[in-house]
Structure 1
């Protein structure tokens, strides 16, 4: 059998997989028990040399197109799964042709929305997932990507300091343009609204969300949240020339949303009495890049924001506002962050990312203090969290969760 393997880097271990078998017939000992989202194609997870690879069986031309699209989106800094390769030229032992396979790297600590909603989470979890999806869609639209199949099913979610971060996992229908028209963006939003309503109805039919959840209201939220964020990132603002502080204010607002401003388009009237400002380059990840520069920690943006707040509190508590920022960050990393994240027993550390564990400990200390109406040291909070909270936390690194294939899917969606 002459396999046609396309991959960004040589990986001989790929040859060890049973490519002569249809993907749905692969032996259990090859597979990793991870929750799967809903897909029109056969998808399986495989452990290979210590890594988990998602494999999707699909037509060869579509597989190559999606592989190249994911690579382009990653080069543009977008939150998408990492493409590993394409395996084509597959034949059964009887010489019958098989579809090609698209290989992507499993995003550690991520879950499909169905597994996420099957856990005992906060009542507003569905709304927070929609908010994360809205941010993802805005980011993709800003670089000219038309998705064509926006849905919760085509997205993976990771916890990020009490919120969620969304990643595109299926770019099969997507198109990359220099710039999207308003009609293209609104088309994506219409697709999202219909798909999300259907997905929430499916969950209700399976008894995984309560009857008090309104699928239409949840699906309408994607449009509301998207429009607010898009307006904030792209709107033109006019103000008097003596209100130049508003330029800095606009940048601060964008930074608070997690976006960097690389360039501004500033124009004035003929008489110089008014100024017009519009962000020209907006890039997500403001907080995560700053934290990475200061500490080397590569985490989600919401997590980075929380860690930076704690770093600022550490600087103030030790009266080091005038010290070198990188030196203070190094001391905070050694004296605060690492002792906390290493305090959990080894068998419990894999339940969540270190940055999320740190965030949870800070939240736990706040709850302890509020309940007791007194302060607790971070050491006391860490120990209480490990004793009373962490043992009951789901293992996000390898949650088996529900069998999502068993949840009914609306045939007419």
Structure 2
């Protein structure tokens, strides 16, 4: 049998590795000494062409399926390890066939959960890891990915400003569907709870848990945190028509959790006294493309997101959700956006670009409404912002108008 290499961008140096030897017998001099998590399969790390690769020995059909699944997850911009290659057609020195190998890029600065617990960690580490895993699981489920083997062992963790970010490292049992049912999501959640309880019990038995908390109680946190996050992301909310500032509040909570917001699905009661909103998820660059199509405004992604959210609120407040969105967008541009940007005095025009001014006015409106606990007329917001906030901003237009070659050179230390 001939050795077969499947890769999007194959590295010829892969062929130099000792594929005729079982992975567990590979010589130490070619291995990278990195911490490995618990796995049903043999896993080794190697340095190759300036990168570190993780190699897992596994059946050929499973290796190919997992390789394609990881590629799909990467295309969907989900937190997962990057597939590098599948090596199959291996034959040992004794002439017997060997399992294929799945090769992935090692995720820099990441650690398996057992390696984290082997260090001296502060209290609450277990709950922070589970919180990170809950965020990962929600992200996967929103995209239609059913994991089938959720666990700390199948996850890598990166430190993230006192918390942790979680990445899927094993997609062997996963399935990607158009949409998951509640039963499928709950099944994944129960698998997670049981697996995490067992993993924490194992740590406790080894004296590594460092906390006097029941592993079963800690593992149940994945269920609570997942449901809280899922509800925040997908749950509908009804607010009074006089409390439209709470729309911004909902968006802020979602952004703080690390999720972007697509157009809000907003509906009003027949008498127009309340607003029901439900957020959606976005793909990269969605907001700027959609705003450009609707209004002709070419702005950055975060600015576009904020402007589109305000456009949705405008449509709901004027009872025009069912109308042609380009017509509504044109009216919003004339009645909301342009009056705000035109409200900046001539002597302050160089402070910020128009889209950023509008964004800051929306921010200012939110703060004023939060303090007052009711909506504040936009004219009052503009006047307050121009009088109290904008004059203190640096003149960005002056800086942006200078060629960088004309700026003074600052010598380094």
Q: What TM-score, normalized to structure 1? A: 0.69
Deviation at 1:283, TM superposition (A): 6.5
- Residue deviations 1:315-339, cap 9 Å, x none? x9x9545636996xxx9xxxxxxx9
Q: Corresponding residue for 2:320?
A: none
Which deviates more, 51-60 or 237-246? 237-246
Q: Which residue of 1 aligns with 2:292?
A: none
Asked whether the 8 Å contact 1:85–1:102 carries over to 2, the reply is yes
Alpha-carbon offset, residue 95 of structure 1: 1.8
Corresponding residue number in structure 2 for 1:356? none
**TM-aligned CA deviation for residue 252 of structure 1:** 1.5
Structure 1 counterpart of 2:274: 274
What is the DSSP-based 3-state SS (H/G/I as helix, E as strand, rest coil) of the residue aligned with 2:279? strand
C-alpha contact (below 8 Å) 1:258/1:284 kept by paired residues: no
- Confirm or deny that 1:113 pairs with 2:186: no
Distance change in 2, residues 1:125/1:273 (3 Å) = same
State the shift of 1:202 in Å: 0.6
Aligned length: 305
Cα distance change of structure 1 residues 234 and 23 upon mapping to structure 2, 3 Å threshold: same
Q: Name 2:188's counterpart in structure 1.
A: 188
SS in 2 for 1:94: coil
Kindly indicate whether the alpha-carbon contact (under 8 Å) linking 2:233 and 2:280 is maintained by their aligned counterparts in 1: no
Out of 372, 396, 405, the position equivalent to 1:323 is 396
User: Partners of 2:91 and 2:398 in 1: how far apart?
Assistant: 59
Match of 1:17 in 2: 17
- What is the SS of the residue equivalent to 1:199? helix
Tell me if structure 2 keeps the 8 A contact 1:264–1:281: no
Q: CA deviation at 1:271?
A: 2.6
Q: CA RMSD in A?
A: 2.8
* Aligned counterparts, 1:374-389, within 5 A: none
How far is the alpha carbon of 1:280 from its aligned partner? 2.1
1:70-81 matches, cutoff 5 A: 70-81=70-81
**Matching residue of 2:202:** 202
Alpha-carbon deviation of 1:246?
2.1
Task: Single out whichever of 72-81 and 234-243 deviates more from structure 2.
Answer: 234-243
Q: Is the 8 A contact 2:10 2:85 kept in 1?
A: no
SS of 2:219 mapped into structure 1: helix
- Answer whether contact 2:127 2:218 (CA < 8 A) is retained: yes
Partner of 2:308: none
Cα 1:239/1:293, change in 2 over 3 Å: closer
Question: What are structure 1's unaligned runs of at least 5 residues?
Answer: 287-291, 295-315, 332-338, 344-413
Decide which structure has the larger Cα Rg and report it: 2
Shift of 1:244: 2.2
Q: Deviations over 1:52-108 (max 9, x none)?
A: 100000001100100000110111110000000100110012321100000000001
When residues 99 and 136 of structure 1 are mapped into structure 2, their CA distance, relative to the original with a 3 A threshold, is same
Q: Greater relative contact order (Cα 8 A, min sep 6): structure 1 or 2?
A: 1
CA distance in 2, matches of 1:75, 1:10: 18
TM-fit CA distance, 1:285 = 12
Match of 1:45 in 2: 45
Q: Unaligned regions of 5+ residues in structure 2, if any?
A: 287-299, 303-388, 405-410
Q: 1:325 to 1:275 in 2, by over 3 A?
A: farther
1:35 CA displacement: 0.4
Three-state SS of the structure 2 residue aligned to 1:66 is helix
SS at match of 2:265: strand
User: Which residues of 2 match residues 351-362 of structure 1 at below 5 A?
Assistant: none
1:8-157 equivalent positions in 2, closer than 5 A: 8-157=8-157
Partners of 1:4 and 1:89 within 8 A in 2: yes
CA contact (8 A) 1:259 1:285 kept: no
1:147-196 CA deviation, whole Å, 9 max, x = no partner?
A: 00000000000001111000000000011111111111111110011000
CA deviations 1:221-271 (Å, max 9, x no partner) are 111111111111110011223322222221112112111112211112223
The CA distance in 1 between the partners of 2:107 and 2:399, in whole Å, is: 30
